[in-house]
Amino acid sequence: MEPHYRSAAMPAEETPFQPLNIAVLTVSDSRTRENDTSGDALAERLTAAGHHLAERAIVADDIYILRREVSRWIAEPAVDAVITNGGTGITGRDGTPEAIAPLLDRTIDGFGELFRWISWEEIGTSTLASRALGGVANGTFVFCLPGSTGACRTAWDRILERSLDRRTRPCNFAELIPRLTER
């Protein structure tokens, strides 16, 4: 059983849920809306959790097209988080980390580390090929996940759902949004 944390300042029952606007981007040369099971899983899970699907798109494995789409979302003040899926492997066409890393103001190194640690339980050493990445760009959280539906479920169910819920204690990403652009 996972520990349940509460803040001494405000118990979890008293902290209201705050829905976030989350954009989902599938990075693939072959997926379409009809067969994008990873994008479907993320969209279904985030809306079931009470968040809003800000927008959803599919782009080719091209770092410049990918960078353009994510840049558009991080420039939009109404988008709180972007979740990409696909392109985090180690083949020649996998360029999501290279596309996104230059856009980040800060990296969340623990996100990729935790994702790989959790994935170890499910897929063993295959998790070595994942270059899952998290960070903040222009006050927007950005998470880059592998393209498999299982990896997307794992990342949402075991990390992102709680991290993007301000009721999670002792801390979470959602409550930090107003402070992400502090200088």
Q: What is the pLDDT of residues 101-159, one digit of tens each?
A: 999 999 999 999 999 899 888 766 776 678 899 999 999 999 999 988 999 999 999 99
- Peptide bond between residue 102 and the one before it cis (omega within 30 degrees of 0): no
- Report if pTM > 0.85: yes
Q: Using CA atoms, how far apart are residues 61 and 48, in angstroms rounded to an integer?
A: 29
130 in any annotated domain = yes
The count of residues in the chain is 183
Q: Which residues contact 175 (CB under 8 A, 6 or more apart)?
A: 166
Q: What is the tally of structural domains in the chain? A: 1
2 in any annotated domain = no
Coil, helix or strand at residue 141: strand
Residue 32: what pLDDT? 86
Q: Using CA atoms, how far apart are residues 77 and 96, in angstroms rounded to an integer?
A: 23
Query: Binning pLDDT at 50, 70 and 90, where does residue 12 land?
Result: low
Domain residues for the domain of 87 are 18-177
